[in-house]
Amino acid sequence: MKGYLKGNDPSSQNLRNLILTGLLTALVFVATMSLHIPNGVGGVVHLGDSIIYLAAIVFGWQFGAASGAIGMTLFDLLSPYAIWAPYTFVIKGLMGFVVGKIAWIGSRRGKSLSYNIAALMTGGLITIVGYYFAEWMITGSPYAPAASIIGNVFQAVGSALVAIPLIGTLRKIKLF
């Protein structure tokens, strides 16, 4: 067992990636579950999106997509929002994927503030548009989701504002 996670062989790297994905997924779930406040106009204010952003920007799109899709869907399934679970899986997975892809364009590896901000704005837009169409499918009305747009904008902006200093702080830790 000694040095099991220290090697550069593919099985050690795969195990590290699996462990990191599990930890990030758990963080997304806990951040969402520990503080989730219905905003009154559709949607829920929570910290989970900030962790998805952090995962995608610091570790890459694979981690953002997996932790977002799985962590947020678990929250939906274990809360009164279970009807949203299939939509959340797609929306949050896509959000993590796109945020990571933008932040890691070229050799940036999530270290360019301007690309990270563009990634966060795009991720927020995916959430807003994604949940608009999800609510349309759930309610059958293209008008009903309009009331949720403001709440989803608030969620997207708030998550980005929390994520930016978290990412900056995490980047300063030599471990990462």
Residue 12 is assigned to a structural domain of this protein: no
Amino acid 173: pLDDT = 85
For the chain, the domain total comes to 1
Residue 5 is assigned to a structural domain of this protein: no
What's the whole-model pTM score? 0.90
pLDDT per residue as tens digits for the range 28-46 = 999 999 987 776 666 677 8
Domain of residue 58, CATH code: 1.10.1760.20
Amino acid 7: pLDDT = 58
Residue 3 is assigned to a structural domain of this protein: no
pLDDT per residue as tens digits for the range 69-123 = 999 999 999 998 899 999 999 999 999 999 999 999 999 999 999 999 999 999 9
pLDDT per residue as tens digits for the range 139-154 = 999 999 998 899 899 8
- What string of H, E and C letters represents the secondary structure of the chain? CCCCCCCCCHHHHHHHHHHHHHHHHHHHHHHHHHCEEECCCCCEEECHHHHHHHHHHHHCHHHHHHHHHHHHHHHHHCCCCHHHHHHHHHHHHHHHHHHHHHHCCCCCCCCCHHHHHHHHHHHHHHHHHHHHHHHHHHHCCCCHHHHHHHHHHHHHHHHHHHHHHHHHHHHHCCCC
Amino acid 91: pLDDT = 98
Residue 107 is assigned to a structural domain of this protein: yes
Residue 25 is assigned to a structural domain of this protein: yes
Amino acid 4: pLDDT = 44
- Domain holding 65, by residue range, is 17-172
* Contact between 53 and 64 (Cβ < 8 Å): yes
Amino acid 2: pLDDT = 42
Confidence class for position 130, pLDDT limits 50, 70, 90: very high
Residue 94 is assigned to a structural domain of this protein: yes
Residue 113 is assigned to a structural domain of this protein: yes
Residue 8 is assigned to a structural domain of this protein: no
